[in-house]
Structures are given as C-alpha cells and as structure tokens.
C-alpha cells in the first residue's frame, strides 16, 4: 500500500507544472488519469483493508468472548498462560495495528493533500492547456499560412531555380566548350608551370641553403639578442623598482591631495547646505547654437531675397516694357497692311496680345522651372548643413501665381498700349513709315558746336536724346548688371574676408586649451611644463561661458579676461583693453543699441547678476565675446578670474604640444582657429553659390537683352550707316561711330551702377548678416573692379556680335531700309 | 502693156530719188521717204557703222521720231544683229515674234507692229542697215516689201560707197570711266539671274547723262557698279585710264570717298544733324572738300543751315543731299531718281541745281530716272534693255531745266 501510495505521489509529482505543449499536456493528463485509477484502486484496497480490520476486530471481540467463556470453562492457569500469551499477542497486534492506522492516517492525509494539489495543478494545467491550445491553434494557422506562402515561394523559387538551372546548363555547356578550347592552353600552361615548378624547386633548394645559413646566423643573433634582452631586462627591472618608488611617492601625494579634496568637498557640502534659493533666468533660442546657425542661414537667404527680388522685378518689368514696345513698333508696316486690308482694331490687337501673352507664359514657365532648379541647388548645399525632413516640392503656388500674374499684366499692358499708339495712325502712314512720327530734334541748332564740341559728340548726344526709351532701358540693364555682379562679389568677399580676417588676423594663436571651469593646479602645472619644454609662447587666461541680459533678453556668450599687453600677442583687438569696463564686439553693440558707458548685466556661475559698464568695442566677425582686464573682472564679479585656459602660439610643433597636453590632461578641450573656419565652411559655400548664381543670371540676362537692344539699334540705324559707307566712311569708321554711342551708354550705366551699388552694398550686407556675424562692410574695390571688367567684356562681346551686321549688309541694300 | 507691178514702180521711184540728187544726205533722206511711202511705213532710219568704234550712228530718219544723234553698239538689238550677221530681219508682227529683240524705235517710245531691217551691203562689206517700221495700229509689211527694201539698201550702199558719207560724230570728250563687257549675276535659288549681260559704256568728263530703261533692266545694278557699291561678275572698268576692275575694299572706300557723290531718291540725310552738319559730316572725311557754306550756297539753302531734316521740305532735303554730294568735289555724281518723290516745281528746282553743277565744274552727273522729259536736258541718254545698253542718244541741244514740262 505504501508503495502504491508512493507510486501515486510520484505520479502526482511528475504531473508537470511547466507543461509547454499539447502533447505534453495530453501525456500528463493521461498519466494523471492512470495515477487516479491507481489511487482509486489504492483507496479501494484501503477500504477493503479497513473492512478486514473491522472484521478482525469483530473476530477479536468474538474470540475474546469465546476466550472469556473458555477461561470460565477451562483450566485457568494453563488458560491464563494461554490467555497471557494471547493477550501479549493481541497487544502486539494492537500495537502493530495502531501503528498501521497512524501510518494510514498520515499517508492518507498526505495523499489527500497531494491529490488536492494535483487537482489544482490539473485545473491550472487545463486552463493553461486551453490557452496554449488556442495559441497553438493560432500558431498552427499562422504556420499553415506561412506554409502556404512557403509553398508558393517554393514553387516560384523552384521555377526560378529551374530557369537558372537551364541557364546554368547553357553556361556549363559554353563553359565546357570554353574549357575544351582553353584546355590546350591550360595544358601548355601546366607544362610551363611544371617547368617553373622544377625551376622553383631548384631555386628553393638554393635559397633553402642560404636560408639555412641565415637561420644559423639568425640563431647567433638571437643568442646575442637574448643576451641583450637579459641586460635590458635588468635595466628595466631597476627602472621598475625606481618607478615603484616614485609611485609610492605619488601615492603619498595622492593621499595628501585626497585629503585636500575631501576638505574641499566638505566645504562644498557646507556651502550647498547654506545655498540660497535657486535662481533661474529665462533664455530663448539664442542660447541654442544649432538654432542660431540655422537662423543665421535663413536670415542671410531672406536678406538676399529682400534685396534681389525687387531689383530683378524692376529690371524685368523695364525689359519687358521696352522690348515688347520695340517689337510692336517694328511691326508697324504689318499693322498698316492689316488695317488697309480691313482688319478691325480689335482683331489686330488680339493678334499681338496673343503674342505678348504667349511670350509671357513661356517666360514665366521657364522662369519658374529655372527657379526650382536653382532653389534645389541651394537646398543641396543647405542639406549638407542641416537635416531636413522630406521636402516634397519647392513649388509655391502663391508666389508663382503672383509672379506669373504680374508678368502677364505687364506684358499685356505694354502690348495694349503699344498697339493703341499704332492703331491710332493711318494705314498708309504706317506702311510708308511716316507714322507714327519719329522723334526728332526740335528747334534750330547753332551752326557750330559749343566750346569746340565735335560733330560726332553732338551727333551722339542727339541720337541718345531722340532714342531715350532704348537708351534708358540699356542704361538700366547695365546698371542692374553692374550692381548685381558687384554686389554678388562684394557679398562673397565680404563674407569670406570676414572669416579669414577673424581666423588669421584676430586669432593669432595656434590653439587655446581649456582645462574646465575649475581646473586643478596640477593640471595647470603640467600644461605649463609642456609649453616650456617645447619653447611655446603661451598665456593663461580666464575664458568662461556666461549669460548676459540686455533689454529683458538673455543669451549666452563668452568672457575673456587677460592683461592687455600680453593678450595682444594672441588675440588682436582693434581697441585697447581698458582697465575698467568691458569691450564688446561692434555687432553686439549695434544689435542691442548699446554705447560706451551703458550698462550690461552679466551673470556669474551661480547666476548672480552683476553690472558691467561698456567701455568700447572691437572688431569681431563671428560670435560674441566680452573682453575685460583682470581688474575689471574683479570689479564686476567681486573675485579674481579663474585662469582656466591657455593661448598657445607655436609654429609647426603646435599639434605635437597639443597631443602632449591631451595625453597629460585627458579632460582638456582644444579650440583652434582652423576649427572656427571649418564651422563656417558650408555657409561659405552657400554664399559662394548664391553669388555665383547672381553673376550667372546677371551675365546671361545682360547678354541676351543687350544683344537684342544693340541689334535693334543697328537695324534702326542701318540706313544711316549705309549712307555713311556709301559716302566713303570705312567699315571701321562706321562701327567706331556706333561704338562711341554704345560705349557712352555703357559707361553711364557702369558709373550709375557703381554709385548705386556701392551705396546699397552696405545696407545689403547688413541685411544678410545674421545676429552673430558681422561681415566686412567696407567697399570692396576688387568686387567692383571685377564687375566693371565683366561688363566691359560683355560690352565687347555684344558689340562684336551686333556690329557684324554692319559689315555683312551690302551697300546695295540701302534702299531696303 | 501690162501695168508695171508694184515692185517695179517702187524700185524706179527709189532709184530716181537716190541717183538724181547730188547731196548724199538729201538723197538718202528722199530715198527713205519714198520707200516709206511705197511701203506705207510709219517711219524709217538709215544706220551707218563706225568700224573704228563698232558703234552704229543714225544718219537719216523719217517718221514721228528724230533718231539722229542716237548710237548703239553693233550687234545690239535688231539693227545691230542685222549689221553683225549681214542678214535681213523681217517681223510682220513684232509682238508675236519671239526672236524680236526690240529696236531703236521701240526704245525711243514708238511701238512698232511690223519691222523690216536690211543690211547696207556694198558687195565688199556691210556698212550699216536700213530699217522701216509700221505703227502698232498700222498695217503689216509683206514679203514683197522686204524685197523692195533689200533692193533699196543695195542701191544706197553702192551710192554711199561711191560718194562717201561722213558721219558727224559728237566731239570726243575725255573719258572718265569706261565699262567693258560688264556682267553681273545674282544667285536666285538654284538658278543664276543675269542682270547685266555685257555693258559697254564710256562716261565722259563733265557731262550730264540720263539712264533710262524699264524696271528690271539693270539700271540700278549698273549704277551700283559705277558707284563702287557693288562688284561686277566679269568685265573691266577703267578709271581715268587706270584699271579699276577688281578693287579691294580699301580702294573702293577711297573711290567712294573721293570720286563719287550720291544723291538718293529718299534723300537719306542724318536725321539728328542739321542741314549744314550733314554736309560737314561728309566734308570732314573728304580729301579735297569744298567749303561747306559754299556747297550750301550752291543749293540756295544758306538760310536753312541750322534746321534739321524734319524741318525741311522734300525739295530742300534733296538739295541738301545734293550739297552733301558736291561738297566732296567728286568726279561723278550718281543720282538715283532724285525727283521721283518731288512735285514738278520742286523737281525742277533740283534739276536746276544739277544743271548748275554740271556747267560749273568738272563733274559728271549720271542720273537714273523714269521721267523721259528729264532726258531732254541730258547730254547723252543711255537706254538699257535686258541688261545691255540698247542705245545712246546724243542731245546736240539739250534743254534747260526751266524748259522742261512734265
């Protein structure tokens, strides 16, 4: 029975608490059922055993009664002895029975509790089984669909594989053919190879001998080396022992410093414990460098657009106006013919309106297309600087509608106005050229020119006066070209030179090493020792980040404190550093409308505000930095400046020194003038690109427009020029006569363009500067020189192209004009 | 007796006219008159060839036109062909005859219906020809008329040969420019348009020449070549005895600067220069200019010196244009229809100026015009036809500008 109960318990024990799958659950369930059966049979046996015990007791009672009867009837002593023996047996049996009963009860209780546990485990197992069955079903479904997909994939891949096998077979066949072909070559190569191998073997044998010799020599050397190694090892060991001694010394030092540090820490804790209420200041995005950089680019591009867009609009409108008007004017004979043939005014006008509008539509479409191309080019550069999300299109319907609408309105208006002037004339007058009346000189001119003025000069002046429309447009185009090219180059040089100046003229150091806000003396000593070892010129300075407040606005900047005379060698300030007060960058003062003697609030590390008096400005092109003497620092902040940085000046060995410092003080940070330049490299590229685009657009526009206008001039004057040639003027003289007029217009345009451009370039540069940058604002002679040169070349090309007609036109065509 | 036939009668009458008069010229005139009467011709002419120059001269003419003084080149036109080929030409209906190349009568404005032209052959050589024409609305000639004419021509040739005929040639003036066999071709698509087919012309010093011709005959092309504005395709040009056939651009420019003055139909003044300045502009580049004010005075516009062209009338502008041409002291002035855009009175003013220029200086004026009236004041009238000089007429007594009426 016990073994049975043990079997049940072991069966129960093996009922898994961590059944994972259906099969295990099924197996466990089956096992459980079996064990239940066994338990039931065990209980049945127990019950039968109990029955037997009850029967036994009953029998015992009967036996006892019979015995008592027999005792009464029997020989007592023998019976007593028998009885005693029987009682002893009975006692022993009872004892055994009691033991068995106790054991039975115990085991029964255990079995029942185990059964209860098993039941609960079964029910949880069932629940789990149910859940996992559901999951397993899902997985089965998924597995089935995966299988289906897999079968499809398999079929597909099988087909592909079949195809590939076919192609592979084809390749194999071709390879075999190729193999056959190349086999001979291969055999030959093999023979050659074998020959080479034989030669190689011979060579190997020879070289092996020499190698053996070398090995022998090497062994000798190795022995020598070993000896040397032993000697060096001794030396190293002695050095090691020295180092150990030194280390011990350093440990002592460390402990000393540790004590100091712990003392400082205790002080700091004391200070923390006695801290005032926390201070806070509100800053805006100006303290976020990324934002500042992005805003700077946006401001620059916006500045470009603010200036160039109206300018292009004005030039474009003038060009449309004049060109359309001239084209319509050239059509006067055709208009006259149409009138003579009976076309109504509206019908004639409609033809030219269609022309004007279609030209405008084509121009707008091409212009918008070109605009998107140019914008995308600029975006390519900007994407190198910033991370943009996916910008779907740069086409702005509103802007396109405004530009297109304005162009159409201007073109249509010009055509309407020009047609109106022609349609007022008679058909005959238009056809024979007498209408509309040409502008001609009025009044009587003196016989001789004033002050010895030459005939040519008078003629040129009068030609200009009688063709003012074309002349004015030409001048405007040249003015625009000179301005655009000049300003484009001015911006480029202004930007590039500003940062070059800051990198090379203001920063006169090789690098600045920053040891943190509160550097340890040991680090400083290390750094200074390295400088001295390398003979570097250096200057300890206080360089810290800080916050300023001005007109309720707070932002971050840097504070530099050093002695004036020493600082000059490393940082060139355009003003002398005063003993009191602070120097601020010119752009800073401009931005915040500050002047000398004004007050600026500076915050220390604990965000305690301090008042600082502005005592001057210095030239600084990027970033903001307040410079003050140590005395001024003390006056403002009430404590000495912490010299946490070093400027270093050393030629080619600067990097070596920097590396040494970094090795000695891993936490040191370095700032180099080249880093500054690198930061603005992408922006420089952007500016160069924009300037280049300005120049290209300007050159292309000027070339096309001026060739057109000059061709019109030549065409209108052809009769006059042919008369001159007929009367004995050479081709060169005729061209020279016209060239004087065009050159006068060009010169006028260049001069006006220079004046306007130079006057405007200052404000344009200011408009494209960002908050933290100041470009070179002075007149760039080189830029304007380049503009004049380019326009001179353009003028030469234009005249050369347009004046060819003068030579090409035969004298006999004089009647045609 | 049978009545004598027409041929016999005509021959007898002609012989009488030719042989019974002592004066050869009178005899030839009578002969021509009789012949014209017999054949019902409207007019006729006898041409004699000057062998030295190859030029045909008209010695006698009858009918509505006086052809004396007119010359043409041997081989040109019907008459020239007759002489050069020594074969008679007979066109019953000239309009319908494709081979008809025109005749002098047509050139001079008399439209012919029927033409007979026979060579004057004196058995040794052809010395000229005899021509008869009928009017457009007249009768046509018959074959018999041709025979009569040929008989007459033979007789006349014999008489001329026997008695000798001196042709009164106009006095030879110094030659300024001579054109020989000048041709000019223009490409016209895939074809070549031959505008000038062989111009032979002498331009003499100090004369007034009018060039006439129909549209497209090559007048302007010839003028352009003479004026150095265009090159000839072939032929030669001599200028005061020097070869000027293939000048380079520099030589042409110098030629136009110093030798030639131009007067255009549409004036072509510089609109932004005053009258005086227009003249001065050209004077400044000339090698031997006249005084500007003198030139202005010659055209009578001294008081308008300071006015711009737009403030001047058409005639005044044309006179300024003439002053601009003469200020250079050119050897030739080429005038292309200078009066075409002007009314009669203004045109007459301009012609007066031109007349004055010719008479006052050493300048030849070559004028192209459609106005045949103006031809009466010319020393010579050159007629062009189909790219060739069809005739040159000498006016023995040219009219003055004031005498012209159109």
> What's the pLDDT tens digit per position in B303-333?
999 999 999 998 899 999 999 999 999 999 9
Residue A268, CA distances (Å) to A264, A265, A518 in order = 6, 5, 13
B277 and A445 within 8 Å at the Cβ level: the answer is yes
A811 and B224 within 8 Å at the Cβ level: the answer is yes
Answer for the pair A688, A510: CB distance below 8 angstroms, yes or no.
Answer: no
**In-domain check, residue A471:** yes
Please tell me the predicted confidence (pLDDT) of residue A448: 56
**In-domain check, residue A702:** yes
For residues A466 and A582, state if they share a domain.
Answer: no
Asked if the model's pLDDT at residue A593 lies above 50, the reply is yes
A444 and B307 within 8 Å at the Cβ level: the answer is yes
| Distance (Å) from the alpha carbon of A481 to chain B's nearest alpha carbon | 30
Asked if the model's pLDDT at residue A445 lies above 50, the reply is yes
3-state class of A196 per DSSP?
helix
Mean pLDDT of A101-107: 74
**In-domain check, residue A531:** yes
Please tell me the predicted confidence (pLDDT) of residue A792: 94
Q: What kind and span of H or E run contains A559?
A: strand A553-561
**In-domain check, residue A656:** yes
CA distance B154 to B144: 15
Mean pLDDT of A63-83: 65
CA distance B213 to A618: 91
Which of A179-188, A376-385, A558-567, B230-239 has the least mean pLDDT?
A179-188
Residue A71, CA distances (Å) to A67, A91, A92, A206 in order = 6, 18, 21, 125
Highest-scoring range by mean pLDDT, A151-160, A808-817, B3-12: A808-817
3-state class of B131 per DSSP?
strand
* Mean pLDDT, rounded, of chain A: 82
Answer for the pair B128, B47: CB distance below 8 angstroms, yes or no.
Answer: yes
Please name each of the domains of chain B with its CATH number: 6-163 (3.30.450.40), 175-403 (3.40.50.300)
Q: How far apart are the first and last CA of chain B?
A: 59
A730 and B253 within 8 Å at the Cβ level: the answer is yes
Mean pLDDT of A461-479: 89
Mean pLDDT of A446-466: 76
Please tell me the predicted confidence (pLDDT) of residue A306: 82
Mean pLDDT of A456-475: 88
Please tell me the predicted confidence (pLDDT) of residue A259: 92
**In-domain check, residue A681:** yes
From A463, A494, A474, A610, select the one nearest A544 (Cα to Cα): A610
A131 confidence band (pLDDT: 50, 70, 90): confident
Q: What are B166-191's pLDDT values in tens digits?
A: 776 667 788 999 999 999 998 888 88
User: What stretches of A468-599 show up as alpha helix (H) in DSSP?
Assistant: 468-501, 521-533, 564-567, 586-592
Break chain B down into helix, strand, coil percent, rounded to 5: 35, 30, 40
Domain residues for the domain of A811 are 459-501+673-817
Asked if the model's pLDDT at residue A252 lies above 60, the reply is yes
Tokens for A532?
Answer: 């001295």
Say which residues have a Cβ less than 8 Å from residue A651's Cβ, sequence separation at least 6: A510
**In-domain check, residue A324:** no
| Distance (Å) from the alpha carbon of A466 to chain B's nearest alpha carbon | 8
For residues A25 and A173, state if they share a domain.
Answer: yes
| Distance (Å) from the alpha carbon of B330 to chain A's nearest alpha carbon | 11
Please tell me the predicted confidence (pLDDT) of residue A168: 66
> What φ, ψ does residue B364 adopt, rounded to 5°?
-95, 135
For residues A546 and A638, state if they share a domain.
Answer: yes
- Per the model's pLDDT, the better-predicted residue between A648 and A389 turns out to be A648
From B293, B365, B353, select the one nearest B327 (Cα to Cα): B293
Q: What kind and span of H or E run contains A199?
A: helix A76-273
Q: Looking at chain A, how many residues does it have?
A: 817
For residues A608 and A748, state if they share a domain.
Answer: no
Number of domains in chain A: 3
Please tell me the predicted confidence (pLDDT) of residue A18: 40
For residues A122 and A251, state if they share a domain.
Answer: yes
Q: What are A540-554's pLDDT values in tens digits?
A: 999 998 888 887 677
Last residue in a domain, options A230, A245, A273 = A273
Answer for the pair B10, B94: CB distance below 8 angstroms, yes or no.
Answer: no
| Distance (Å) from the alpha carbon of A725 to chain B's nearest alpha carbon | 8
Q: Nearest residue of A to residue B274 by CA position?
A: A445
Last residue in a domain, options A273, A300, A335 = A273
Q: Nearest residue of B to residue A717 by CA position?
A: B270
Please tell me the predicted confidence (pLDDT) of residue A789: 95
Mean pLDDT of A166-190: 74
Identity of the residue in B249, B264, B308 whose CB atom sits nearest the CB atom of A441: B308
> What φ, ψ does residue A280 adopt, rounded to 5°?
-140, 150
Exposure b/e, B221-250, CB count within 10 A at least 16 = b: bbbbbbbbbbebeebebbbeeeebbebeee
Asked if the model's pLDDT at residue B369 lies above 70, the reply is yes
User: Which residues of A fall below an 8 Å CB-CB distance to B?
Assistant: 438, 440-442, 444-447, 455, 458-459, 462-463, 466, 719-720, 723, 725-731, 733, 810-812, 814-815
For residues A558 and A703, state if they share a domain.
Answer: no
CA distance A340 to A456: 41
CA distance B73 to A161: 101
Mean pLDDT of A297-321: 80
**In-domain check, residue A782:** yes
Within an 8 Å CB–CB cutoff, is residue B270 touching chain A? Answer: yes
Q: Nearest residue of A to residue B325 by CA position?
A: A727
Residue A744's region, left for phi above 0, alpha for psi from -120 to 50, else beta, is alpha
For residues A616 and A677, state if they share a domain.
Answer: no
* pTM summary value: 0.66
For residues A703 and A750, state if they share a domain.
Answer: yes
Asked if the model's pLDDT at residue A271 lies above 60, the reply is yes
E-assigned strand segments in A23-177: none
A445 and B257 within 8 Å at the Cβ level: the answer is no
Q: What are A206-241's pLDDT values in tens digits?
A: 877 887 888 788 788 878 878 888 998 899 899 889
CA distance A85 to B299: 192
For residues A199 and A96, state if they share a domain.
Answer: yes
Last residue in a domain, options A634, A656, A671 = A671
Please tell me the predicted confidence (pLDDT) of residue A50: 66
A28 confidence band (pLDDT: 50, 70, 90): low
For residues A74 and A138, state if they share a domain.
Answer: yes
Please tell me the predicted confidence (pLDDT) of residue B246: 87
Place of tokens 């000229």: B128
Q: Looking at chain B, how many residues does it have?
A: 406
Within an 8 Å CB–CB cutoff, is residue B141 touching chain A? Answer: no
- Per the model's pLDDT, the better-predicted residue between A310 and A366 turns out to be A366
Asked if the model's pLDDT at residue A759 lies above 60, the reply is yes
**In-domain check, residue A553:** yes
For residues A165 and A240, state if they share a domain.
Answer: yes
Q: What are B99-117's pLDDT values in tens digits?
A: 888 888 888 888 889 999 9
For residues A487 and A518, state if they share a domain.
Answer: no
Within an 8 Å CB–CB cutoff, is residue B274 touching chain A? Answer: yes
Exposure b/e, A682-709, CB count within 10 A at least 16 = b: bbeebbbbbbebbbebbbebbeebbbbb
Chain B residues inside the 8 Å CB shell of A463? 272
Asked if the model's pLDDT at residue A738 lies above 80, the reply is yes
Please tell me the predicted confidence (pLDDT) of residue B1: 47
């Amino acid at each position: 029975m016990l073994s049975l109960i043990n079997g049940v318990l072991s069966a129960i024990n093996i009922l898994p608490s961590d059944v994972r799958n259906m099969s295990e659950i099924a197996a466990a369930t089956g096992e459980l059922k079996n064990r239940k059966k066994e338990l039931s049979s065990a209980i049945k046996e127990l019950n039968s055993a109990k029955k037997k015990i009850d029967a036994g007791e009953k029998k015992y009672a009967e036996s006892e009664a019979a015995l008592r009867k027999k005792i009464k009837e029997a020989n007592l002593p023998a019976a007593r002895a028998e009885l005693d023996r029987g009682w002893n047996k009975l006692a022993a049996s009872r004892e055994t029975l009691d033991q068995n009963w106790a054991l039975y009860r115990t085991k029964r209780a255990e079995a029942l509790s185990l059964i209860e546990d098993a039941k609960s485990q079964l029910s949880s197992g069932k629940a789990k089984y149910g859940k996992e069955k559901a999951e397993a079903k899902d997985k089965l479904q998924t597995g089935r669909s995966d299988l289906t997909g897999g079968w499809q994939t398999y079929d597909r891949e099988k087909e592909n594989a079949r195809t590939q096998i076919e192609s592979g077979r084809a390749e194999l066949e071709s390879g075999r053919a190729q193999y056959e072909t190349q086999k001979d070559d291969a055999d030959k190569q093999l023979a050659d190879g074998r020959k080479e191998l034989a030669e190689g073997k011979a060579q190997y044998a020879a070289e092996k001998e020499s190698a053996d010799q070398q090995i022998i020599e090497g062994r000798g050397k190795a022995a020598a080396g070993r000896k040397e190694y032993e000697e060096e090892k001794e030396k190293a060991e002695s050095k090691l022992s020295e180092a150990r001694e030194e280390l011990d010394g350093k440990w002592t030092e460390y402990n000393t410093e540790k004590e100091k540090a712990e003392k400082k820490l205790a002080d700091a804790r004391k200070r923390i414990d006695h801290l005032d209420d926390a201070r806070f200041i509100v800053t805006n995005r100006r303290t976020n460098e990324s934002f500042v950089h992005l805003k700077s680019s946006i401001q620059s591009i916006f500045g470009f657009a603010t200036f160039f867009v109206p300018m292009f609009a004005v030039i474009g409108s003038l060009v449309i106006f004049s060109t359309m008007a001239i084209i319509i004017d050239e059509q006067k004979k055709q208009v006259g013919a149409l009138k003579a043939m009976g076309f109504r005014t509206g019908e004639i006008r409609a033809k030219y309106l269609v022309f004007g509008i279609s030209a405008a539509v084509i121009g707008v479409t091409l212009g918008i297309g070109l605009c998107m191309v140019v914008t995308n080019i600029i975006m390519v550069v900007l994407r190198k600087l910033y991370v943009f999300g996916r910008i779907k299109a740069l086409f702005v319907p509103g802007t396109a509608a405004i530009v297109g609408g304005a162009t159409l309105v201007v073109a249509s208006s010009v055509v309407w106005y020009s047609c109106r002037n022609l349609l007022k004339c008679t058909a005959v007058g238009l056809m024979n050229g007498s209408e509309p009346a040409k502008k001609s000189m009025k009044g009587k001119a003196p016989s001789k020119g004033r002050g010895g003025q030459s005939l040519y000069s008078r003629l040129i002046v009068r030609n200009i006066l009688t063709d003012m429309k074309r002349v004015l447009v030409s001048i405007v185009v040249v003015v625009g070209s000179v301005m655009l090219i000049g300003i484009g180059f001015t911006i480029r040089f202004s930007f590039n030179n500003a940062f070059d100046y800051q990198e090379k003229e203001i920063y006169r150091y090789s690098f600045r090493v920053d040891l943190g806000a509160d550097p340890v003396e040991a680090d400083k000593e290390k750094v200074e020792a390295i400088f001295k070892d390398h003979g570097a010129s250096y200057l300890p300075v206080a360089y810290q980040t800080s916050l300023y407040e001005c007109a309720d606005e707070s932002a971050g900047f840097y504070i530099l404190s050093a002695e004036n005379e020493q600082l000059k060698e490393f940082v060139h300030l355009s003003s002398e550093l005063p003993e009191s007060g602070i120097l601020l960058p010119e752009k800073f003062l401009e931005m915040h409308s500050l002047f000398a003697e004004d007050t600026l609030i500076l915050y220390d590390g604990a965000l305690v505000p301090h008042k600082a008096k502005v005592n001057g400005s210095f030239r600084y092109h990027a970033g903001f930095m307040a410079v003050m003497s140590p005395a001024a620092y003390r006056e403002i902040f009430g404590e000495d400046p912490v010299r946490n940085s070093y400027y270093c000046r050393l030629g080619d060995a600067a990097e070596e020194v920097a590396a040494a410092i970094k090795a000695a003080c891993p936490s040191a940070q370095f700032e180099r003038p080249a880093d500054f330049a690198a930061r603005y490299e992408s922006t420089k590229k952007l500016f160069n690109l924009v300037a280049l685009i300005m120049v290209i657009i300007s050159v292309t526009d000027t070339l096309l427009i001026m060739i057109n206008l000059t061709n019109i001039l030549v065409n209108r004057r052809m009769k006059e020029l042919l008369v001159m040639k007929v009367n004995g003027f050479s081709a060169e003289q005729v061209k020279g006569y016209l060239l004087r007029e065009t050159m006068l217009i060009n010169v006028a345009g260049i001069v006006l363009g220079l004046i306007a451009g130079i006057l405007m370039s200052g404000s344009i540069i200011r408009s494209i500067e960002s908050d933290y940058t100041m470009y070179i604002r002075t007149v760039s002679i080189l830029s304007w020189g380049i503009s004049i040169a380019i326009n001179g070349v353009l003028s030469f090309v234009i005249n050369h192209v347009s004046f060819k007609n003068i030579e090409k036109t035969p004298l006999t065509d004089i009647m045609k004009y | 007796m049978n009545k004598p036939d027409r041929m016999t009668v005509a021959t007898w009458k002609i012989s009488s006219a030719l042989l019974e008069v002592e004066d050869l010229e009178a005899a030839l005139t009578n002969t021509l008159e009789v012949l014209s009467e017999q054949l019902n011709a409207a007019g006729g002419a006898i041409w004699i060839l000057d062998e030295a120059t190859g030029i045909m001269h008209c010695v006698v003419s009858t009918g509505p036109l006086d052809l004396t003084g007119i010359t043409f080149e041997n081989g040109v036109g019907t008459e020239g062909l007759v002489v050069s080929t020594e074969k008679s030409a007979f066109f019953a209906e000239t309009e319908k005859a494709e081979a008809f190349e025109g005749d002098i009568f047509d050139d001079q404005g008399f439209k012919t219906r029927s033409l007979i032209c026979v060579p004057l052959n004196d058995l040794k050589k052809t010395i000229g020809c005899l021509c008869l024409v009928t009017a457009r609305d007249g009768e046509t000639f018959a074959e018999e008329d041709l025979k009569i004419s040929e008989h007459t021509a033979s007789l006349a040739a014999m008489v001329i040969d026997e008695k000798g005929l001196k042709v009164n040639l106009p006095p030879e003036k110094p030659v300024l420019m001579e054109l020989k066999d000048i041709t000019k071709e223009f490409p016209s698509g895939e074809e070549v348009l031959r505008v000038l087919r062989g111009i032979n012309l002498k331009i003499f010093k100090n004369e007034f020449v009018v060039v006439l011709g129909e549209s497209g005959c090559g007048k302007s092309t010839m003028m352009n070549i003479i004026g150095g504005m265009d090159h000839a395709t072939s032929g030669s040009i001599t200028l005061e005895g020097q070869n000027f056939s293939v000048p380079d651009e520099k030589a042409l420019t110098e030629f136009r600067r110093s030798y030639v003055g131009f007067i255009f139909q549409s004036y072509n003044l510089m609109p932004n220069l005053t009258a005086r300045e227009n003249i001065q502009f050209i004077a400044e580049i000339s090698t031997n200019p006249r005084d500007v004010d003198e030139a202005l005075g010659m055209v009578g516009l001294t008081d308008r010196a300071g006015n711009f062209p737009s403030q001047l009338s058409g005639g005044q502008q044309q006179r300024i244009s003439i002053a601009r041409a003469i200020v250079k002291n050119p050897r030739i002035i080429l005038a292309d229809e200078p009066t075409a855009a002007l009314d009669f009175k203004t045109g007459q003013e301009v012609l007066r100026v031109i007349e004055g220029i010719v008479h006052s200086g050493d300048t030849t004026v070559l004028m192209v015009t459609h106005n045949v009236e103006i031809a009466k004041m010319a020393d010579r009238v050159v007629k062009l036809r189909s790219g060739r000089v069809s005739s040159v007429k000498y006016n023995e007594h040219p009219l003055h500008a004031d005498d012209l009426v159109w």
